[in-house]
Amino acid sequence: MNAAEQVGSKRNAGYRAADMVEDGMIVGLGTGSTVFFAMERLGERIAGEGLSIAGIPTSYQAALRARQYGIPITSLDEHPEIDIAIDGADQVDPDLNLIKGRGAALLREKCVCDATRRMLIVVDQTKMVDTLSAPVPVEVLPFASASVSRRLTLLDGRPVLREGIKKDGPVITDNGNFILDCDFGAIADPRHLEAEVASIPGALECGLFTAYGEKIVVIVGEEKGCRIVSLR
């Protein structure tokens, strides 16, 4: 898949997800290029159809983009139950386990995923894999980054502190924390690994999403449309 085909596939997935949003819904808004196509389409529907929704963005970047497209913003405090959420993924396996967090918004994304009734994951075909193997982002308390790194190494991971681009030093999340990208190789048991990482003091959240398969609908963008993957 060349770059132009990938962009087209992402647009197809994002637009399809946006067209599944109904009037009056509270919508979780993830972070990433494919989700931004969904926001673009939601903006078109708001302007052209009078669609009435409110979005809960998972990052400052998502909030800025939502405002650009005219999507009204609300919060998880005001709406602790969400009708539908749209987000991307770094990898998706056949059981709909995910690796997320390339945009460093995994902690808020998991909060939204947990709160939503239905989770639309928008990806292109390259994100669908037989076995999860991408580096797993871990959001860590800066105070504990060294001790968390040591514990991740004991789990046979290879953690690397994510460095900023056009900025000296580490990436700082919207929550004021660091990101460790941890390579575990092929992950045979994602659910067990997620639980192991969650047990480490100072590891606030990891990019493995293994508890939400029943509410996840994966929209896989293709060159000429989309295909839908779910466990139901």
pLDDT at residue 207, as a whole number: 98
CA pseudo-torsion sign 208, 26, 47, 18 = positive
Q: What is the pLDDT of residues 150-200, one digit of tens each?
A: 999 999 999 999 999 888 899 999 999 999 999 999 999 999 999 999 999
Consecutive H or E run containing 6: helix 3-19
Q: What is the pTM of this model?
A: 0.95
Reported confidence tier of residue 223, pLDDT bands at 50, 70, 90 = confident
Coil, helix or strand at residue 119:
strand
Cα–Cα–Cα angle for 97, 101, 107, rounded to 5 degrees: 95
8 Å CB contact between 12 and 226: yes
Q: Which residues are annotated as a binding site?
A: 31-34, 87-90, 100-103, 127
Q: Out of 40, 49, 109, 196, pick the active-site residue.
A: 109
Banded pLDDT at 4 (limits 50, 70, 90): confident
The rounded distance, in Å, linking the Cα atoms of 125 and 73 is: 30
Containing 95, the helix (H) or strand (E) segment is none
Percent of the chain whose predicted confidence (pLDDT) is above 70 = 100
115 has a pLDDT exceeding 90? yes
pLDDT for 166 equals 83
Q: Are 37 and 6 in contact (CB under 8 A)?
A: no
Instruction: Give the tens place of pLDDT for each residue, 35-84.
Output: 999 999 999 999 999 999 999 999 999 999 999 999 999 999 999 999 99
CATH number assigned to the domain with residue range 3-129+211-227, chosen from the 4 options 3.40.710.10, 3.40.50.1360, 1.10.3720.10, 3.20.20.70: 3.40.50.1360
Contact between residue 26 and residue 83 where contact means Cβ atoms under 8 Å apart: yes
Structure confidence at residue 7 as a pLDDT band (50, 70, 90):
confident
Binding residues for substrate: 31-34, 87-90, 100-103, 127
Asked if the domains at 3-129+211-227 and 136-205 fall in one CATH topology, the answer is: no
Q: Which residues pair with 84 in a beta bridge?
A: 27
Tell me, yes or no, if 109 is annotated catalytic: yes
CA distances from 23 to 27, 56, 85 (A): 10, 15, 14
Fold of 136-205: Alpha-Beta Plaits (3.30.70)
Average pLDDT over residues 86-100: 98
Q: Which of 16-20, 144-148, 164-168 shows the lowest per-residue confidence on average (mean pLDDT)? A: 164-168
* pLDDT band for position 204 (cuts 50, 70, 90): very high
The DSSP letter of residue 76 is T
pLDDT of residue 1 exceeding 90: no
Which residue ranges make up each domain of the chain? 3-129+211-227, 136-205
